[in-house]
Structure 1
Amino acid sequence: MKVPIFPLSSVVLPGGRIPLQLFEPRYIDMLTRCLKDDQGFVITLLRDGAETGRVASFYETGTYVRIIDFQQLENGLLGITVEGEAKVSITQSWRQDDGLNLGESEFLPVEPAEKIPTVFHELPSVLRALFRHPVIQELGMNVDYEDARDVSWRLTELLPLDKQEKQHLLEMQDPLARLSRLQELLEALEEG
């Protein structure tokens, strides 16, 4: 499918939500087209460049998102909230004259829902603690704390991890392998 690509300095996974502020004409035009055509777009992590730059390189694996809310912000910018629907692979990309990136993408296989093994029993508690933060609560995300996929996706988004590490976790297709890596990373964070 042909979709707009929005390179960011953060990742979002299926079921995750992220608020964005739009001010560049290319992204306001993109928003208008997406709403008119009832279409989403792909958020992918920046590899090089800046979010507001004209030239940026980005990773080929991202997440197809849909706009679930938008409003005019107090600072005069347009604010939107998007929700991840599915992981995608960008097979080809190009840049329009206005700087908007477009690409051909295909949906990646849906990860299997799995119960959380007892070896990872602390991870849902860590996620519950993160969800007590008012900014996270405001996003209104739902989480199945017994599903390895859900818990690993939300921890990937919310933990203070290196961006390339988050991308690596996004690219994993096995929720239990992702939980294992997250547990290693949490232990390293605790050790300082």
Structure 2
Amino acid sequence: MNVPLFPLNSIVLPRGRIPLQLFEPRYIDMLTRCLKEDRGFVVVLLREGVETKKEAAFYDIGTYVRIIDFQQLDNGLLGITVEGQGKVSVVRSWQEADGLNLGDVECLMDEADCKVPERYTELPSVLRALFRHPVIRDLDMEVDYEDARDVGWRLTELLPLDKQEKQRLVELQDPLERLSRLQTLLEALEQD
């Protein structure tokens, strides 16, 4: 599958949502093409560089997203909300003359469906607390607090972790391994 790549300093995972502001011509054109062709794009985490610069290095595991809402913002920019569909691996990437990154991607296998084990009951509670924040509540995401994938994905997106750690969590394919790592990271955050 050949798709546009959107390098960000943020991540989104399957069933997650993220609001974006578009103002660069390359991304306005990308949005127009995606809407016209009823297709999405891939959000990848920046490894080096800045979101607004054409020179940027990014990780090769990201999330295919679809546009679920768009509107003109008060600041004159175009605002969109995207929702993660599935994790992908960027097999090959290149940059168009206008600076838009494109890539050949392969869909990764779906993660195993499993319940949150008893030993991680604190994690859904932390997630519920995060979902009380108005900005997160406004994204209108549905969360299954008993699903290890959902809990792990949302905590990976929302916790204040450095981007290398977030990417390591994104790349995990085992929801229980992700919960274990998140539990350890939360304990470290509480000690700081």
SS in 2 for 1:115: coil
| Structure 1 runs not aligned, ≥5 long | none
SS in 2 for 1:52: coil
Q: Map of 1:16-95 to 2, 5 A cutoff?
A: 16-95=16-95
SS in 1 for 2:30: helix
- Normalising by structure 2, we get a TM-score of 0.99
Post-superposition CA distance 1:29-51 (Å, at most 9, x none): 00000000000000000011100
Alpha-carbon distance in 2 for matches of 1:55, 1:96? 12
Supply the AA of the counterpart residue of 1:66.
R
Q: CA RMSD in A?
A: 0.4
Supply the AA of the counterpart residue of 1:49.
G
Q: Map of 1:32-181 to 2, 5 A cutoff?
A: 32-181=32-181
Post-superposition CA distance 1:78-109 (Å, at most 9, x none): 00000000000000000000000000001000
Alpha-carbon distance in 2 for matches of 1:79, 1:117? 38
Supply the AA of the counterpart residue of 1:179.
L
Percent of aligned pairs sharing the same letter: 73
Alpha-carbon distance in 2 for matches of 1:65, 1:43? 7
Alpha-carbon distance in 2 for matches of 1:121, 1:150? 14
Alpha-carbon distance in 2 for matches of 1:10, 1:158? 10
Alpha-carbon distance in 1 for matches of 2:75, 2:119? 46
Alpha-carbon distance in 2 for matches of 1:73, 1:121? 39
Which 4+ residue blocks in structure 1 deviate beyond 4 angstroms?
none
Shift of 1:128: 0.3
Alpha-carbon distance in 1 for matches of 2:48, 2:161? 18
| Structure 2 runs not aligned, ≥5 long | none
Supply the AA of the counterpart residue of 1:23.
F
Alpha-carbon distance in 2 for matches of 1:159, 1:54? 28
Shift of 1:113: 1.0
Alpha-carbon distance in 2 for matches of 1:48, 1:129? 32
The count of residues paired between Structure 1 and Structure 2 equals 192
Shift of 1:54: 1.1
SS in 1 for 2:145: coil
